[in-house]
Every structure is written in C-alpha cells, then in structure tokens.
Chains A and B, each alone.
Chain A
Amino acid sequence: MSGQPYRLPANVGSGTTGRILDRSRRIAFSFDGKSLSGHPGDTVASALFANGIRLVGRSFKYHRPRGVIGSGADEPNALISVGESGRHEPNQRATQVELYDGLVSKSQNNWPNLKFDIGQINSKFSRLIPAGFYYKTFMWPQSAWMFYEHFIRNAAGLGTAASEPDPDTYEHMHATCDVLVVGGGVAGLAAAQSAAAAGARVMVVDECARLGGLADSSSGLIESSPQTEWVQSTVSTLAAAENVHLMTRTIAAGHYHHNWCLLLERVTDHDPSLAIQGAPRHRLWKVRANQIVMATGALERPLTFANNDRPGVLLASAARIYVNRYGVSPGRRGVVFTNNDDAYQTALDLTRAGVPLARVVDVRTDPRGELVEEARAAGIEVVTGMAVTNVDTVAAGAKIQSVKVAPYKAGSRIGGREERIECDFVAVSGGWNPAVHLYCHTSGKVKFDEDLQSFKPDRSFDQITPVGAANGTYDLDGLISEASNTGAAVAKKAVGSKVKRSKSDRPLASSPKAGKLEPVWFVPATGALNEGNKHFVDFQNDVTAADLELAAREGYRSVEHIKRYTTLGMATDQGKTSNINALGVLTGALQSAIPQIGTTTFRPPYTPISFGAIAGTNAGNRFLVVRRTPPYEWHCENRADFEPIGQWRRPYCYPKPGDSRHDAINREILSVRNEVGLLDASTLGKIELKGPDAAKLLDRVYTNTFSTLKVGKGRYGLMLNEEGFLMDDGVTVRLADDHFLMHTTSGGADRIAGWLEEWLQTEWSDLKVYVTPVTEQWAQFAIAGPNARNVLENLDGDIDFSADSFEFMSMKVGRLTGYPVRAFRISFSGELSYEIATPSNFGHSLWLALLEAGENHGIQAYGTEALHVLRAEKGFIVVGDESDGTVTPLDLGLGWAVSKKKDDYIGKRSLERAYLAAPKRKQLVGLLTQDPQEVLPDGAYAVAELKDKPPMEMIGQVTSAYWSPTVGRSIAMALIKDGRNRLGDVVDFPLDNGKVVKATIVDPVFYDKEGAKQNV
C-alpha cells in the first residue's frame, strides 16, 4: 500500500481541508490491480488524486489519456468499472463512487492496458476519424462492414458487462408527496423548510451522500456564519419533522407526466456489507408529487482551448472541492483560467490550503468583482485580457508540464507574445449552467439568459418550479429568498396551508458581489492551422470544436442533427459539461446566436440507472407473474414438462423416466384414443352471465344464436371483433332461463369479460345483464377416451353418466365422490369425453380421485401438446393457431356456426365488406406431406410456383403441424388461397434450409370423419 502524496494536512492556513474525511481510519482499495489507500469520506476520484494518480481512463474515440475533470455527476472522463464477477459494473463515475474497504476498480476503454494503449493509434490518424466518420466510412464497401465492426466493437465501447449473475437484490418503492424537493443544497433545504412548515408532506432527495450541495465550497455566509452551520441545523430540524423524508445517495433520474418521478436510491453501493442483512442494492422509487421544487443547482462548464482534455485540466469548482472537502491537492502547482469571478474562490481556497498557484488567467480585461479584489489582496497573481492557449505535456500526453498563455481578444486569432508557465494542473471555469435536465424531461422549455450566457428554465405545463442556481439565481441571499418563498407557495398550492409567513421566516445571507462574465467559446491555439491541437467540447464522446465546425460546413443546420452527426451530448453524459460550449462554438460556424440555434433535448435518466433497479423484485423465480392451477403440485411431482400459456403454467406433457417428449406425447394421445386420459383444463375461461337480457347479449356477441338454447344444454359459439375477425370461441351452457355459463379460451378469459362489460356499459346500457368472471372459482378436468364413462361411473355420485341420460352437449350439476361438481359432456378430442368442474380448493383432491378411479381403465394424465394433436386429428381449430386476427369463420369453414337470420351481431356488417366476402381468400385445409414421416414446420409458406430463389408468390401457410400417432403419419392444417377448391392438388413448401416439402391438399379431418367415436 502506497502513501497518499497529494493528501493535504487537516489544518493549513485559516481554512479546514478535508472537511468530511475521517483521517483516523485508512481504507484499502485497488485501481487497475494496484493497492492503494484512502480514508472514509473519499470517493475513488479523490483517493486517486491523493495517491497521485491522474490518468484514469482513455477517451471513447481517440483513446487519449484522460483524468478527472469534475467532482460529481457531471464527470465525463473518469468512468471506471467497480466490483468483481457478478458485482462488476462498468461506467461508474469515479467522482461519485464512495470508497469502501476492499473496493476493486478498473479503468476502461484501453487495451492491453491504461498506460500502453493500442487504440491510441486512432489519435495519430485522427484526421481520418472526423465527425460522421462512422456514417461516411463504414457504409462502403458494405462487405467490409463485418471487418470494421469487429475492429470497432473491440477498440471502442465503454467498459464490459458483468459475466456472472448479479448476486444483489433490487426493489421498487412507491411514494406520494405534496412537495418533492430535488437537490439538498442550500436552495433545496430552504424550500423544504418553508414547505414543511406550511404542513406539506415533503420529500428531499440528493444524489450525494451528504446534504448541503456546494455550501462548503462556495462564497457567502448565512446568518453571518459559514453556510455549513446553517445546513447542519436545518437538516437536523427537517430530520426531526414528522412530515419530511430526507434521502441521500438518490438521484431524480427522470420527470414524467403529471409529476411522476423516478428516483434511484443507492442503498448499499457505499457499503456492500449492508446487502448481507437483506438490503437491496438499489431501490427505484416511483414518486407522485403534487408539486416539485427543482433545486438541482448548476454545472460548471470548461473552457475550450487546445489540448484542454489533458489529465490535470479540471473544473475550478472541482479543484476547490477536492481541497476543501477531501483534503487532496489536484497537483503541485496550478493555474486558474477563467472568464468569471467564481473561479477566484478556487484561487483563494487553494492558496489558503497552501497549494501553490502560479497565476490566475482571466480573459476579461478589467474584472472588478469583490472576489477578484480579495484574491489580489491575498497576493495572488492575476493576469487579465489573457488566455491559456495550449497545454504542454510529457508522458505521452498524460502529464502536464506547462501551459502557454497569450493575450486574448474574443473572435480574433491569438497575437502577441506567448508566455510559458510551469504547472501541473489547470483549474478552468467558463461560467455555470443551470442544471435544467429534469425540467426539460417533460414539458419544460428553457430560454437563453445573456448574463449567465446559458439557458435557464422558462415555462412548463407541469407543477415544477426551479429555484436557486437551477433557476439561474446564483446570489446567495437571492437564492435563499427565492427558494424559501417557493417552498411556501407550492406547499400552499398542494395542501391549501393557511400558515402566515413573514419575511423574517427565512435566513438572511450575504455573498461577495460578482462582476460580469465574459463569454468565451473558443480559444484558438497559436501555430499554423492549429494542427495537432484538439479543442474538446464533449469529453465523453470525443467531440471537438473542429468536428462541430465540419458538421456546419457540411450543411447541418439543426442542432438536433448536429448532435446525432457528431454524437455530441449523447449517451450517459447527456451534455452536462458540453452542451452550452458546443452551442457557443456553433454561433461562429452557423453565424447565428445561441437563442436562435436552440438547444438539444435532455432525456431521462439524468445519470444512468441500473438494469437491476428497473427489474426490481421481478428477478429469479419472480421474473414473471406465474399462475398455477389447483393440481399444480401434482403436475410437478409427476414430472410435468410445463409450457407457458399466457401467465399460466400448463403441463405440456408428462415424460416418464427414459421418455423423450415425443414418446410422452404419443403415449398420452394413444391412451386417450384407446383407453382414457385426464387433462387439467382449469385455465379455461369461465364467465357467468345473469339477467333478463343475458340471452340477448349472447346473440349479439356470438355469430350464432343462444336465445333458443334449452336449459341444461350447451352450444359452441364463435366470437368476432367488429372488424369481422375471429377473436374467441367456446361452449356456452344455459344454467337457467336468465343465467348462462360461457367458456372462453384460456388466454381470452380476462379480455372477453372486459369486452362484454365494455359493450354493456358503452353501447347496450339498456341490457340488463350482470357479468361475473368465475375462471378461478372452478378447477376443471377433461376425462376423454372410450373408458371415460366407466371411470366416472366408478365414483360415488348422483349424476347419471349413461348415454341416454347424459347427451352430448349437455350439462348436469351434482356430486361426485362427495365433491360438488358441474359436469359437461363436450369433446375437443373426438372421443367420448366429459369435463368435470369443482370448486378450486377441491380441485387437487378430485384430480386424485379421478386418477384413482381410472387406474384399472388405463387412465393417464395428458398435457397440452397431446390435446393439440388430438384436436388437429379431428380438424378442430385453435384460436391463435388457425386464426391470427385476419381470419373469418368462413375462411375456417365454420359457416355453419354463423347465423344468417340475425339482424346484427358484433362483426356481422364487417363480414359483408367486399374484402372479407371475396372468393379465393385463404381457406382452412388439411395437408398430407408426400413423405409421411416429414412434419412441416409451423408457419411454413406455400408458394404458387417454385423458383430457384425468392421472391416466390406466397399462397398460404401452415397453421398447425404434428406427428399423429393415431393415423401413423404427419398431419397439418393450413390456410391456402382458394384451398377448398384445390383438394387433391400438390403444393410446395420451400423451407429456410433450402429443402422443399411437397404436400397434398386434403379435407382437414384426419380421423373418425363421421364422429362415431364420441357418439357412444
């Protein structure tokens, strides 16, 4: 473990350095395999600084060496991978990763290692990688794309995904609040305080581990004391309040319609040991806020000068934050480069902490703000009307040796004498941009502010109010006053509070009076044509000022197009540091002002959120909602091979030891054909309809007639949608004059109940019918096969199952071995078949009783695949197999179930439309392959004429195809153009693999055409 050579002593000069550090404890961590140490309170970035490590990664496109620029969410460069195996996560900002004992971190985007990176060669050929490089180069020749892609995927990309499953848990949480305050800095806390005092339920969220924002690193006093003292007491008050919820390590990732917000709380990232106690790693909050106060602060922007991306160039605010908060020096000797007063605070703080400062370089000719005077009085050397024009480096660009400084005049080339100043870091400030991202996620519009030279919130349809720096209010007293008033006002809107407020309810503050900022968008380098000098605008996406100018020269005018062409402001960064500077560069290139150019769209999330958090609790065995039928455990115990049918899990087949699926299915089919089988059909949709108009409703929703049905009898019905296409089918039974039981497909149960309700409420509100779904009330089993009656008669009960008493398509209510049942004589297999329904809690037991009763009759449970083959052998359709939302009953040869007498039913008028009534539509037919062993794949296309290669005219497709053990050959059903007139024709099915299957068109009933088997 090495020392921490850049760690500053705790007390130097008049200020405190390393305010939040616990210097009494050391923490061990590693970076690229090197063992290092830091202290509790450190981030990976501050600890790397302390250890003298400046080179933390390589850039996306040119693989240039990069260092830390910022101190928080705005960091575009220092993206690292943290954690190992399943806990490995790439693209974390080192500035936000809190140090913990044993943390393992790695740099990204370099190969074979950070110091020697082969991709750096991209830098040498950078003139060949201009804006739009991907679009221009890799488009041609097309055949080379595979080669290029291989190169790109390896050389570029941001980190790698974890290779192991993630061992952590994640969850969601919902919350409702009157006022959501985003940002726990001075403005956010002041707003929260007044909102809470007005009686509102307030949530305050901040992305950092600590509240207070920049209170410890910005100038000004509150109530004549350092800002952190006021922050401390306010946080204590808010924490003690019943109506306030304070959250740290939580980002407001997105703002959506009607003030719905997504927050990501990082629960264990700072201390993975919490996960052992059951804490989720991340918690995704879905918050509905009546009012939102956006106190997200502002982000400092860098300055655009030659080689401004070298490790050692960092934001002025970050430089003083590292000193004040973390007690680390960004280097041995620095230069401050600025166009505004705020950077003088950095100069003052650094000097106070004993960090040598060579110069403050100010582009302004006559800066006169109070901080400027203070710096001068402190003996800091200030040069004005000058700019840093270039950076000289050693160690292949990884270390700054000196900067060049020359007289600067906006818009002109650099002239005059150039001075070289030795230093190893440059703290830059180009002004501050309000962090308007959240504001813009939904309806918020921004406007350009000349004083700030940036965009600030303008108007929004949503109840979101920006305050403080996020609103462009940087003056401390003004900021507190604005936040405090806003907090009270929005609380009043939300809860109608009548608490009276006076001016004295808010703390008074004072801060140095600032001078005017001078916009600087581009500092030209000296030397001919700026050759070899890159001026970076977007560090994360490696977009330079020259790229933007090129895009403009090539004719791009819209900033949204330029963004996509150059990749500016994309990806995880969302233009936090780059957006305004890019617009500034474009003012020259496009010859228009920033307000006219406009800004690009900020999209959620503000910073990336984990996939785990999005999945939440729905991982592992909770990945999907799973529905179980009453005998589910029996299925499990009997080796059921399950298949998902919607959310249901249904046994597909029951392989015995040594059985293949195919063996099991064939055995199950033959047992139904020869003896008897038992099917769990509990998923079948069941809906009861009751009321004087129940029959009338059925006549309107089915194509056939139900009002004529006798009590105790059932009828098969087809349901169409209004477009005339088949939507559902099933048997409906009349329980009483005004009472019916409708069966729907398994997948249609909920949808059809909703459909009936919709028609009853919106179109036929005069019909008196109550619709009650009862799918879950009943377990239902099919007993099918020649021995079915024997099995049922084996059980005690009061139902006469004999052929004379219990006719086909009828139902009886009674008891079977004590259980209350509804028995139906219906068949989906063509065999003698009954369905027995019993209340679900008896389902498991009745299932066992039926198996026991059938033991001597050869009973076997059969699954959904056997069910499908059995019905296909009989030519029965399945909605969703033979129909796909474009198929009518007439197409399927089900005209017999379509009434010609009724005036109206849903879909009737559409069936008469020319397209649906046309001849030669695709019609349902059977297929027999010429090779009886060949089973066609589902969906295989039939062609009119076979050709060497596509295109070929498609005349239909296979809807179902199976091996039929009953007829001992393959069978299939298909929809073929004019199929019913083509019986006997042979058609070709060219398959994906080049093989062509020939099949003869036949009638779709393959077995027991006369229906003798169920008529016993």
Chain B
Amino acid sequence: MTNHWIDIKNADSILIMGSNAAEHHPISFKWVLEAKDKGATVMHVDPKFSRTSARSDFHVPLRSGTDIAFLGGMIKYILENDAYFKEYVVEYTNASLIVGKDFGFSDGLFTGYDAKTRSYDKSKWGFEMDENGVPKRDKTLKNPRCVFQLMKKHYSRYGIDAVSSTTGVSAENLLKVYKTYAATGKPDKAGTVMYALGWTQHTVGVQNIRSAGIIQLLLGNIGVAGGGINALRGEPNVQGSTDHALLYHIIPGYMAMPHNGWQTYDDYNKANTPVSRDPMSANWWQNKPKYFTSLLKAWYGDSATQENGFCYELLPKVEKGEDYSYMYLFDRMYRNKIRGGIIIGLNPMNSIPNTNKVRKALDNLDWLVASELHHSETTDNWHRPGVDPKKVKTEVFLLPSAHRLEKEGSVTNSGRWLLWHYQVVPPAFEAKPFGDMFVGFMQRLKALYAKEGGTLPEAVLKLDYPDKYDSDELCARINGRFTRDTKVGDKLYKKGQLVPSFAALQADGSTSSLNWLYTGSFTEEDGNKAKRRDTAQTDMQKAIGLYPNWAWCWPVNRRVLYNRASVDLNGKPYNPAKAVIEWKDGKWVGDVPDGGWPPLATGKGKLPFIMTVHGTGQLYGPGRMDGPFSEHYEPVETPVNSNMFSKQLSSPVYKFMSSDMDKLAKPADPNYPIVLTTYNVTEHWCGGGETRNIPNLLEAEPQLYVEMSPELAQEKGIKNGDGVIVESIRGRVEAIAMVTIRMRPLKVHGRIIHEIGMPFCFGWTTPGTGDSTNRLTSWVGDPNTTIPEFKACCVNIRKADKLTELAT
C-alpha cells in the first residue's frame, strides 16, 4: 500500500476492484465503513456479488479479465471531461515529457515487438532528452508527442459501447462509476483504489494496476490522505517476505538479482544505479551501491572487503532473461531437472494452477523438506488418491513448525508497519520456528564444508550466518551496524553500534544491513521500534489517523508514500482539512516527507516521486514488458474470439508452458463456454491447509461449492444443492451447486456469457470436503511477474451422476 489501513477512512470515494475486502481483509473494512459513514461513496466492481458488494453503495458486475477495458474507459472519461487535477498532472507527473520518435502503437501492438521472441525492445519507448541529458518537457501539454497527448490518443478508443460490449457492464453502470470516481479530481477530494489478487492474477495483471495508477495520478490521488494505490496483499507477512525477497528475481530491498552479464561488483553497480542529470530529480536509487554493499557486508561479514568486491563473485548469478519462478520450477521438475527442495508454510499442491501437473511433477523429486503445522496436500502428495506410494521415490522430511503465537519476531502489514509479536506460549509438542530449521541445517552445512570440503566451499564458509535463531538480534542485523568507528553528522558511532537511518549507509564497507528499507527501525537511541505502542499524535496527525509513534513503518517511518505530492509548489496542502505534510516556519510538519528538501517554489526543491529516475509519477511507464500504456487483451482462455480494441486477441507477450499437460482451450471453444473465476472465503485461508484443521472454521465452510446464476442452472438442468462436475481442458472437479443471483449472466459481444465462481480452499487430506479447484485453472502468466491467470479460464459444468470427492 502507498497508504495504510486506517487512512482508508479519509477517502471521499472508494473503488474496490479485484478484491473482496469485506471477506478477505475483514477488519480493514471497518475503515471503509467509517469513510462511508462520513459520506464517501463505496463502489465494488467485481464479477461476483459478495459481502463487499452488500456493504457498498453499489455493485457493478463485470466479466473477469476485462478490467483494463473498464479502466481505459474511465481514463478516456477523465481526460475528455477535463476531470483531471491539472496542476498536479503538469507539475508532478510525466504528462509533459516528450516521448522519443521510435514510440508508436498500432492495432494492439507497441513498436519494438519481435514475434519470434514474443518480446518488446523497450529502448524504442524512451523520452527525448535535451543537450544536457534532461528530458524535454512541454508544460502546456500541447505537443502531440508529449505523454499527455499520446495517452489521450491511446485511450480515445475506449468508448462506452466497446467497453460495455467487452466487459458486460451496462453503459449506465459504467458512467455511474466513472462520474463518481472522477469527482475526486478536485484538489481537496481523495479517492482510493483497493485491489488484491483479482487484479494481479491475470496475464495483464501488472497493466490492470498500471491503469489504476494512471487514474490516480490524473486525479491527483497519490501522496494524499485517503488516496493511493492500495494493494491489500493477501498473506500474513507477505509484505515482509517480499521486502526480504523470498523471490528469485530480487535480493532484499528491491534490488535486482545478479545475472551472468554482471560479472563483477563494479559491473553490478554500474548497470543498476540509475543516472539523472535533472537537478530537480532526487533519483533516490542513485544510492543503490550503498545499500547493496551494506547487504554484502551483512551476508559475508569480515570476509567481504573492498579488494574482493565484497564477495560479490561468490553469489549465484541467474542466466540473463531466464525465469526461475514457480511456473518454470514445476515445469523443470516435471521434466526431471530438479533433484530436491524445501517447501515451507505453503501448499502448492492445492493452491497453484494446473494442480494435476504439479502433483505429478513433485513425484520426480529425490528429496523434499517441508515444515508445516498440519499435514497438507503437499506434505502427503506421495500417497494422494490414485497413487501407489511404492512407486514414488521421494524422501520426505516433515518438520512440525511453530505457530506465530509460539514464537516472537516481527511482521510487516500491508501499510508497511513493522509489528512485533511476542511469544505467548512455547511451541506445542516438538514444533520449532522456521528460523531454527534454517540455522539448524546451515550450521551443519558449514561444519560439513569445513571438514570435507566440496564444490566452492568458500561460498558457504564465508557466510556470516547466525549460529542461533534470535529474532531480536536479527532485527539488529536487518537494521544494520557500523563495521568500524564512524561519524554521522557530529555524532560518533562505535564499531558494532546500530546505524541510525539508511541515509548513513555507505558503499565503502563501513556499514552492514540485511535490508536498507528497514534501517532506522532499531536504533541505539530508541531500541527495537517494532515494539512501540504509543498512540500519541499531533492534532494534524490525528486528523488523518497517522499514528506515527505506533511501531514503525518503512521507509524512515513515512506513513504515506510520495506525500510531497499532497502539497502545492509552496508546500501548502491541497486539502488543508486532511493535510499529510505542510511546510511551516521553514520545516515540514506532519508525516515524514519524501526527502527534506524545501518546497519546489524555492528553487531548491526536488520532484516528489523520488524513486523514479525523472522524479515524476509515471502516466507513461516505459519499464514494463508489455507496453508503456495499458491495453485490453482477452484472457488466454476466453469465451470470445475477437477483441473489440485490436486484432491482437491476447497479450502478445504472456508467458506459457508447453508440456503435454499444459493444454489450453482455444478462444470461444464450444466445449468450454463458461468463464470460471476463483476466490476464497473468510473462514478459510488460501489453500485451506491450516483452517481446514480448525473444527469451528471447517464447520462454517465445510465443502467445495460452485456459485452459478439461476439462468445457467436452468440451462444446465442443475438445482441448488446438486452435485456437479466442473471441467476444463486440464481437469475435472466435483462441487456442490449453489444457485444464486450473486452471479449474473453478462451480455458480451452481443450474446449472453455465463460466469461461475469457486473457492479453492478444499483438498483431499480433509476427507469429504472436495479437492483442488486449481486442477481447472491454467498455467499462463503475466510477462512482468509470471503471476498465473487464476482468475479467468474456461470451463463447462454438468450434473454429476456420482460423487467421489465430496461427502454426501
């Protein structure tokens, strides 16, 4: 989230799209309702009527996978009705930048497309620079090659009729949402966008969010109270686990994973440190070498020296352009190229697409380590229904893991708040924290390498790895320490003392930090700030519920990101009643500003979007794999065979697999005419591996069901409560029919299209509840993130003669 949970109450308009917040982030919804009580309009745009819709001012059903068409229509509406916040757009976004001559767009494709490699040459999308290397601007926004004009042209194609026919949303409903939300384009109004997996899980997931980003920038809704782009995030510590990068493509603190093209420490820094010649741009990432070097110092300790490039050479380098995410991992496993691995706190045999393939792939492992609270479809895959364990070679190590109540440590919520949880009781039975497992085998490995040697033993032996799992001490390592006596300002810090802020991190090896974003969270002066429980606020902070003294938030306790965009060029808040920051008597008050420079009007200021090279909000985003503007493409499995906006039916760059088990239904396949979307319920958590083991939760939601409209039920001769079979080209699933007006038939391309919805929290290890819904979903992914398209695939449904997976 750019903002935080409580801040939702400051919104005048709330667009919930790609999320069912009331059900999946139930407590967050109290802040939505508080805004509503104060007069905010709450809108829910989602295929299914849910608890969120019930508490919204209105619900607008749309066909899954058509969000960009919907939002593209809104962008056109905002531009053509002059509903945008002009000063903000001119001063703080890249609307005025001139795009280079090579950029173009025609019939669904941007320039630079190579059909052979299914990829774009992004160098075609750059900006025009002046003789000093500063981007050329036209603040009148009249130049036909400026971002504003190109954007206007791009989205001019998203007229109400084409959008309505694509999304299945009536013209009346479209205009209702557009008008209400566009009203937040006034300086003293704010609108917030709340989204979750309903946006990310598409082959155009990133561009769904980009579309919302464009809208929020046009309306001046980023950086202000009650605004922002708010990824609700799903999992319990998914913000923290992303910051610390349990991901192949980055290392902690959002820095790129080294690849083979960057052979040395200097190569890495050169390639990864952006340069801006614009004196107005802070270009914050120019500090990257400081963060990267401090990370290497934290990883390799005294072994990391300037002379050896801080042990950079020992690090693994991925192959440039190669993808090592789930999709590719399981495909390689299926092809017998993976020997073993560790799966903890995760149930991929239930919760990732094309489950029939991944279950088979897992059989190919020699060894598997798992750490869980309960048995799951993953830990027990070797004796799943229909499989003879005597034929499965995998050696499985299943370790009982401690519950969060049974260990202490920190987690980070979606609003980037760093929160401490104390140990309430010791771990039950022989359970232990994941931390003990990592330290346990790493210490053993170090001993083995010291004794026996092996391949590249120094990569392991030189690690400065903790010898016991101690969360408080690790928080200090994450924050970072001085590795020698160092002066910061006029204060002398001794070797071993904590670094006070990331501004003090250095690229010379004098500091270490496991994650620069968290530097400042644990200081000599204040201790571990995750433990702070102080509700004190100034009146200004209280007016928006900022709570700056409760715990701590990254970066540098800044609660609202890009908050300098909430004030005018003189530092005066656009909305004084809900000011985030204000320039008063020569300093900023309120929240921690995005850099302490004085207001821009002084001539000494910097543009507010400090993490972008040019300092401006990116209406035009040339860094994405699939284009600098969003464009509607159909989901890969789609019930229609044409795209109203171009000849390009699906994304030209989506990722896919080609094994014999990766089948895809062809567009408008008469065998699979129905759109399936998947979701969860309040009572169960994701794949359900934990919550199915809690009797009261299982009792509340005991069995797999499929929601369908009365119209479809009648067409198929299905009654409420009937057992049914849902089938895609990849698999079949049993479910109980729930016939409900919550699902509406939609008029798309001039005919009726049905959509059905299913939760995915049930699995065979809880007998009689049903088994993985994801046996139906397809393994195609977004080109930027490789997040699979869970939310839209094509299926058929029929009454079952006999049920074997469900207790009846």
| A complexed with B | no
Report which A residues bind B (CB closer than 8 A): none
Report which B residues bind A (CB closer than 8 A): none
